[in-house]
Structure formats: structure tokens, C-alpha cells
Structure 1
Amino acid sequence: MRDSLWLVPLLCLLSGIGLCIATAAIDRAAGTALVPHWVTGGPAAAQSVLSTIVTSLVTLITLVLTVITVAVQLAMAQFSPRIVGALLRDRRSQLTHGLFAATLVYALLAIPQVDDVAAGGDGYMPGLTMLIAYLLMLASIVVLVLYVHHAGQTLRVAGLIDLVGDHLHEELHRVYPADAGAQAAPDPQVVTAPTPGVVVRIDVPGLVDAAAAADCSLQLVPAMGDFVCAGAPLFLVAAGHGARLDPRVAGLVTLGNERSYPDDPAYGFRQLVDIAERGVSSPFDDPTTTVQAIDRLHDALRQLATRTIPTGEHLDHDGIVRLTTPALDWTGYVRLTFDELRLAGASSPQVARRLRAALEDLQTVVPGTRRPELDRQLELLTLGVKKSFESDRDVINALTADQQGLGSGPDLVRDMDRRQDDRSREADMHLRPS
């Protein structure tokens, strides 16, 4: 019953029946209108509103259940057939369905309570019953918007992984409760993560101020985008008096369910590399998509080529290093961009040509200290292409720099010198006697 989808909606439906009976009894016992007439309207308007609520909710419930069924099937096909249990146990979804069912049955039972011919033609209006119906409908609209957001977040890869992981976390605590006596005393020189998650934001000014107030230096253990287990080291107190460090300092590092853009530019590289690598993998085999992703990776590295990349050391107002964070350097960005694509795309002439064009162009703009990693990538690309093709001509073709992959390389486009030579040969042919 704990894993069933129907139990919570059924209980909510029964609650809606009981609520309608209770409010109708209160209205009849009061004998007078408990709610102003301008709030509920007349009996005829109330019946029309209740009928609209019933019709709308029947359509809404049918649509939501259909979408959920399709979403579960897609999740089972794309991720795992065993993911359906976690989706059915999602309490937010169950409560949403229950609210819709409770509102539907409440409005359905409230319609007979409204009498437009009683009391000498003025009709009978159960004010409290109508007010609750309006509130339930308003709540259903708000919950529908929140539910769409929740469903969209849940059906993402990170959402499904977190959904299963959270259930696993709960089961571990239930089946294997922690022994308080066996736990070691907390180390004052280590600040641990209160919950599991991915580092998505670091409040650098707040951490610097906290370290300065405690007269210590903090070293952030995970890098931006790293996953941190609950209870794993988050900070190391590198120097000073860690005992006076505010224990709430862990809250200055935001942990989410997946990486995000605002403070993590490497995540943009990661997504483009994923798209590019997917394009050259089976069963997609779409190297043109890979080339389009490489275009944007090339542009991003070109923008970064001459810019200063922070070292990860953060100073206070007195120039003392108070916070040290892992920071990706130029070599890290280049390897993030090319390592996987070079291995996956070496056997595709289109991808190999585009990668070589990007690397050779970057060599022309980077400072000398940043060239070695580009030279290394070019050397490894050449070795990978030679291993992928047996014919020397194919190797030469795949190692020709081309901004379009196949379409704008020097072996495909006539330059000015070649055009002049072609015109000279054509002129000689016309002047030559037949």
C-alpha cells in the first residue's frame, strides 16, 4: 500500500466527501448566510460555477493521468524499467491527484445543496459550501502550475536519479539506524556537508567574512559542480582558530540536484561536449551536429584564450588569504573540450577536420604559456586519426583543417592563387592551336 498510486488520492477523495457534508450541515444549521452574497453570487450563478468546476476537473484529471502514463513509459524505456516504482511513490504527485479528486467530488456533491427555487423564489445559497468550493478550485489551479514544474524537474535525468537516491537514503535510515554511541566526535578542523548534492553556488564574500571573523583560513574541498556526499568534508580549516568558526558556514555553499550555469561556466562546456559526443555515437551517427557543437566550443575557448582565469585564492580586506577553492585552469578547459571528442571523433573525417581547425586557430591567439596543451591535443589527434584509417590518403584528408568539417578546407575551396592558375590554364587552352 505504501508503493501504490491510488491510496493517497482515495483518502483525499473521501476527505472531499466528508468536507462537503460538514460544510453543508454547518450552512443548514446556521440558517443564515455565513458568507456575504457578493462573494458567492446567486444560486443560479453558483450552480453554473460548480458545473464548470466538475467539467473542468474531469478533463484535467483525465489529461494528467494520461500524461503521467506516457511519462512513466518514456522513463522506463529511456532510463530503467525499474524506475516506475519511484515515480509511483512520489508523494507530491499523489497529493496533487488527491486534491483534484477531492475538488471534483466536493463540487459534485455541492451542486444539489444549491436550490434556486427555495424560500419563495429567492433560492437557497450555502455560503460556506460555495466558499470552500472556490478555495479548492483556486488551490487546484495553483497546485497544477506547481505540479507541472515538479513533473518537469522529476522527469529529467538528475530528477529521476535524485528521486531514487532520496528513497534509498530514507530506506537506509529506516533499516540501518545510525548508532549515536558509535559516531566519532566532530573534528573542529573539518566542516561537513549537511546534505548530499552538487555544488552549484559558492558565497565567496560570505565565506571570506566568516573566515576573517574566526581568524582562520578555509579550504573548499569540492570544486564547483562536484557532488558532495552527506557528512563528507566540505571545508578544511587550514589555519587559525577553527573553534570559533560559525557552524552555519556550510550553508554558504549551495548544494543542488544538478549543475547550473550562473557560477559554473565549465557546465556549458560539459553540455556542448555531451551533445557533440552523442552526435558521433551509435545509433545517431550525426557528425554535422557534432561539428555545430564544436563551433560553439571553439568560440568559447577563443573568448577565454587571452583572459585571466582566477586561481581560486580569495583575500580579505587586509590581503590575507581566507578562502581557497579548486579552480579550473586553461589546461582544464582545453582537456574538457577536446579529450573525449578527440577519442570519439577521430574516426570521423568531418569531426577530425573540424577539431584540427579549432586547435590550429586557437594556437594563433593564445599566449605562449598556453600553447603546450594545444600542441599536445594536435599530436594526440594526429595519432588517433592514423590509427583509425589504413590509407595514407584518408589520413591526410582527415587531418586537413576545415571549419565546416567537410566544406571549406583548402583541399575543397579554391583560393585566389588557385583561381589565377586555373584562369591562366584556361587562357593557354584557348590560345593553343587546334
Structure 2
Amino acid sequence: MRRSASLRTGATAAYAPRSPGRPATPPPGRGIGSGRCGTRRDVNPFQRNRKARAASSRSPLWVWPTAGGAAALAAAILLEQFRPRPGTGPAGLWPGGHDAASSMLQVVATSSVTVATLSLSVTVVTLQLASQQFSPRLLRRYAHDPVLKAVLTVLLTTLVFALATLSFMRSGEALPVVSLVLASVLGVASLAAVLGFLNHIIRRLRVDSMMLDTHKEASDAIRRCHPARDGPSPYTGDNPAPHPEPARGAVVRARRSGFLRLVDARELVACARRGDTFVRVDVRPGDLIVEGNPVAVVWARTPGGRMPDPGADGTAEEIEAALKTGFERIPDQDVAFGFRQLEDIAVKAMSPGINDPVTACTAVGHMADLLVRLAGRRLGDIPHEDDDGVVRVVVPDRDLRYYLDLACGQLRRYSSGEPTVLAALLRMLRDLAAAVHEEGAESDAAEVRRAAELVMDTMASSVGPSDAAQVHDLHGRVLAALEGRLLDAYADRSGETRSV
């Protein structure tokens, strides 16, 4: 059975008395940390892999083009010195004279400026469309688009090389043949880069491509952050997490505002080990932190020990350094961010100015797959052990109700009068119900039932009897899937309960 604990911020909330029979920490198999790295054995949700590290540390847009321009200038200076005498073999690489070479370099430089302007104009239009019609949170993907950076790098490299070579042209001297040939090649490469960029941006402008990219990011985050439910339990059981008294904990407050982007559990474990303390983090990746908010609580590991003073011994600074914040969310450890972007697309599609229920239903389909993936994963608090197997840090996690409210909440309210979208939400819950029944998680089944009832309660009275009957039928299919009657849940006449 899985039961994802709802966590609250602050020392008192983090260790408030629990009801009888309810464990204060997750039972074995619920994502307890491993003894070697301070994280789970089968998955390290807070260790960024290469892809995640690239996603969180992307360079600004100007870095690549600037580096390419500097390299082009250096290459032009070096190659300018290679001027074969007329009549020799290398001089035959350029059959024209000084006038033809100067004209070619001017054409290449002018064309590079023109196509660079075109590329930037197309990018601006793309950002405007993505922000207005889909979601402003999708702009992060375009601002760090490696294809755009590569195209601008090629164009600026071509421009700088052509201008530098043109400045070295002197009448009466031998031509820099290698530079002229390279400038010609760069001119052709710039044209190819622009054609490839136009093809790339056309593909990226499709809403299906945006949803697919978001779905892939969220799926990768789920795989990184949550181990499989049927995998081996990572909990050793020798050193369970302590249950300190709330009054003996020292609260660590945030010193800067922003979204929590990454949690470095290794740094937290090392910090707690040095001070022989136990740290409870009270924020999750994706949470908005305001300066002065409590973000963690520190206790002495030894029972009856003196209350720690994080501000005096440097623990507060180390904890703050381990909690990476920024002005925007990133998907590395934030599974909910993928749901938020898909929900944004669905809600935008249902706005009066767009009114596209099919796009909304497609976004719901992507969220259905993500929810089913979560149903087969461990959710809940994540204790982290040090090398000696001692639990030093507990990091909270989100539960299934949070994801269900995120996936259904806004969309069901904005689509209360559109039975097509309400039916799509119930189809999503039916798929999740089938997965939950297979896993045997009663608490998760209750959350699915609650979400289905909320969808039914939201349906407007203006929905016609025939359309309302379809919605009620799908609600019954959700309940059938929860009871394990899969044939009753999915049987239909012509696929009307599976497609839009």
C-alpha cells in the first residue's frame, strides 16, 4: 500500500502528532534513502544527470555566437598570412582577382546580416505566438534552443570572418586564397543553417510538438525522481529516521526569494553529518520561496542534545546553498512543472478567443500517461542516509492528490460547460484507476474517486441530456476500473470512450 504524506511548512507542522496507527515516516519501500550516497539505492532523485545538468545550466543566448565570432577573427588573422604567389598550385583555388574576391566577401557579409535579422524576427514571432496561444512558461524552451544558438553562431562567424578578411585585402599583394575559399564555404553554410532553422521552427511551432517535448521532460523527471514501486526496497531499517520534538528544532529561514529549482541532498547530508544534526527540508522543487519563509528545521541528532544554532555555526548558509533557487522553474527535479505546462496549454485552448477542445483533450491525454507512470512509482518523504547508514536529511515530496488537483482543477472549472473536455478528464481518471487497482493502493483509489466526483460536481446545468449522459457513463467507467472490472470500464460500441 502506498500513502503519500501531505507535508506542511514549519517545525510544528513537520512533526505534528500523528493519528494512531499512522507512521510518522514512510514505511519501508516508500523511498527511504540509501546508505552510500545519502539517497535511494535504485535512484538518486537529487543527483542531476548529464541531461539535467545541461537543462539547468544552459548558457545565455549570446555566449555561443560571441565565441564563434572570436574564433572567426582569430582564424582570419592567422589565414591572412597564407598568400601563395600567383602561378603556384594553391593560388589556383581562387580563379578570380582582387575585385571578384572583394565583391564575394561583401556579398557574404551582407547576406549574413540579412539572414541573421530574419532568424531573429522569426524567433520573436514564435515567442509571441507560444506565449499568447499556449503558455508563457514554454518560452524557457525557446530562449535556450540549441538550434537557434547554433544558427546564430554560424551567421556571426561568417560575418566576422568575411569582414576581417575583407579588411586584409590590399591591392598589389597576393590574395589570401585559403581565407577566400573558407569565406565561400561559410556563406553556403549560413544558407543551409537558415533553411534548417526555418524547418526546425515550423516543427516547434506545432502545439503537438510542444506537448510532446513537455511530456518527455516530465517523463524523464519521473524516472529520475521516483523509483519503481515494485523495485527492491532501498530502506535498510537499521537506523530509522528520528522523530524529534518540534520545540527543540531550529528553523532555517530563506535569505532570498525565488522558485526552488534543485535540492542537493549530498550537500545537505554532508552538512548534517559535520554538525551531527538531523535536517528536515520543508520545501519541494517548484515551490515559491519568499525571503523569510521557513525552508528547513535542524535538530541535534543526540536525544536531549543542545538545540542547534544554524545561524551561528554556518549550517543555515550551507542549507541555503544546497537549495538552488531561481526566477523560473525547471523540470530537472520538478515533476509538477510538466503538469503545469500541459494544464496551461489545455486551459488556453478552452479560452473564448481560441475555443479548441480537441487540443485540450490532447493535453489531458499526455497528463493521463504521466499519472499512470506516477501510479507505478513510490511517492512520499525521502529520507537520506550518510555513509554509516544514519538518516541525516528528510526531503518532502508531493502526493497523488496534488497531481490530480493540478491536472484536473483549473481545466474542469474552465470547461464546466464543455462535455468533450469533461469526458477527457474522466477518461484520464479511468486510465489512472486501472493502474491504481493493479497496484492495489487503496489510498490512491480514494483520491481517484474524489477527483472523479469533483469533475461531476463541476458539470454545468446547461449541458444537454445527451452530452450529460456521456459524462455520467464515463464516470461509471472510472468506478468500474477502480473495482477491477476493466472490460466494463473500456467496452464501447465504436471507440467513442477512447477518442475525441
- How does the TM-score come out when normalised to structure 1? 0.56
Give distance in 2, aligned partners of 1:329 and 1:51.
Answer: 66
Structure 2 partner of 1:378 = 452
Are 1:413 and 2:493 an aligned pair? yes
Give distance in 1, aligned partners of 2:289 and 2:180.
Answer: 45
Are 1:56 and 2:116 an aligned pair? no
SS of the equivalent of 2:393 reads strand
Structure 2: gaps spanning 5 or more residues: 1-65, 133-142, 144-148, 206-249, 301-307, 478-487, 496-500
Which deviations, in whole Å up to 9, do the C-alpha atoms of 1:328-364 show, x marking residues without a partner? 1121111112112221233222222232233345445
Change (3 A) 1:273 1:191: closer
Higher Cα radius of gyration: 1
Structure 1 partner of 2:236 = none
Match of 2:423 among 353, 372, 379: 353
Whichever residue aligns with residue 217 of structure 1, its letter is F
Are 1:293 and 2:360 an aligned pair? no
Give distance in 2, aligned partners of 1:309 and 1:61.
Answer: 52
Give distance in 2, aligned partners of 1:347 and 1:295.
Answer: 20
Is the 8 Å Cα contact of residues 218 and 236 (structure 1) preserved in structure 2?
A: yes
SS of the equivalent of 2:336 reads helix
Is the 8 Å Cα contact of residues 211 and 218 (structure 1) preserved in structure 2?
A: yes
Whichever residue aligns with residue 260 of structure 2, its letter is V
Equivalences for 1:210-221 in 2 at 5 Å? 210-221=271-282
Structure 2 partner of 1:107 = 165
Change (3 A) 1:47 1:109: farther
Whichever residue aligns with residue 358 of structure 2, its letter is T
CA RMSD of aligned residues (A): 5.3
Larger proportion of helix = 1
Are 1:225 and 2:277 an aligned pair? no
Is the 8 Å Cα contact of residues 349 and 356 (structure 2) preserved in structure 1?
A: yes
Q: How much identity, in percent, do the aligned residues show?
A: 20
Whichever residue aligns with residue 263 of structure 1, its letter is Q
SS of the equivalent of 2:461 reads helix
Is the 8 Å Cα contact of residues 260 and 324 (structure 2) preserved in structure 1?
A: yes
Is the 8 Å Cα contact of residues 268 and 318 (structure 2) preserved in structure 1?
A: no
Give distance in 1, aligned partners of 2:123 and 2:279.
Answer: 45
Offset at residue 292 of structure 1 (A): 2.7
Change (3 A) 1:270 1:188: closer
Whichever residue aligns with residue 287 of structure 2, its letter is D
SS of the equivalent of 2:392 reads strand
Give distance in 1, aligned partners of 2:172 and 2:260.
Answer: 56
Are 1:278 and 2:341 an aligned pair? no
Change (3 A) 1:217 1:394: same
Is the 8 Å Cα contact of residues 258 and 288 (structure 2) preserved in structure 1?
A: yes
Offset at residue 212 of structure 1 (A): 1.2
Structure 1 partner of 2:267 = 206
Give distance in 2, aligned partners of 1:257 and 1:54.
Answer: 43
Which deviations, in whole Å up to 9, do the C-alpha atoms of 1:246-267 show, x marking residues without a partner? 8455444444564343422222
Whichever residue aligns with residue 299 of structure 2, its letter is A
Length, aligned pairs only? 325
Whichever residue aligns with residue 278 of structure 2, its letter is S
SS of the equivalent of 1:63 reads helix
SS of the equivalent of 1:239 reads strand
Are 1:397 and 2:470 an aligned pair? yes
Is the 8 Å Cα contact of residues 349 and 398 (structure 1) preserved in structure 2?
A: yes
Structure 2 partner of 1:239 = 299
Whichever residue aligns with residue 255 of structure 2, its letter is T
Is the 8 Å Cα contact of residues 271 and 318 (structure 2) preserved in structure 1?
A: no
Give distance in 2, aligned partners of 1:133 and 1:211.
Answer: 62
Give distance in 2, aligned partners of 1:376 and 1:338.
Answer: 11
Give distance in 2, aligned partners of 1:94 and 1:295.
Answer: 36
Give distance in 2, aligned partners of 1:110 and 1:393.
Answer: 79
Offset at residue 410 of structure 1 (A): 8.5
Offset at residue 62 of structure 1 (A): 0.6
Whichever residue aligns with residue 271 of structure 2, its letter is A
Structure 1: gaps spanning 5 or more residues: 1-11, 28-33, 81-86, 116-123, 157-186, 416-434
Whichever residue aligns with residue 371 of structure 1, its letter is A
Which deviations, in whole Å up to 9, do the C-alpha atoms of 1:272-306 show, x marking residues without a partner? 32233333333332323322332332233233235
Give distance in 1, aligned partners of 2:118 and 2:288.
Answer: 35
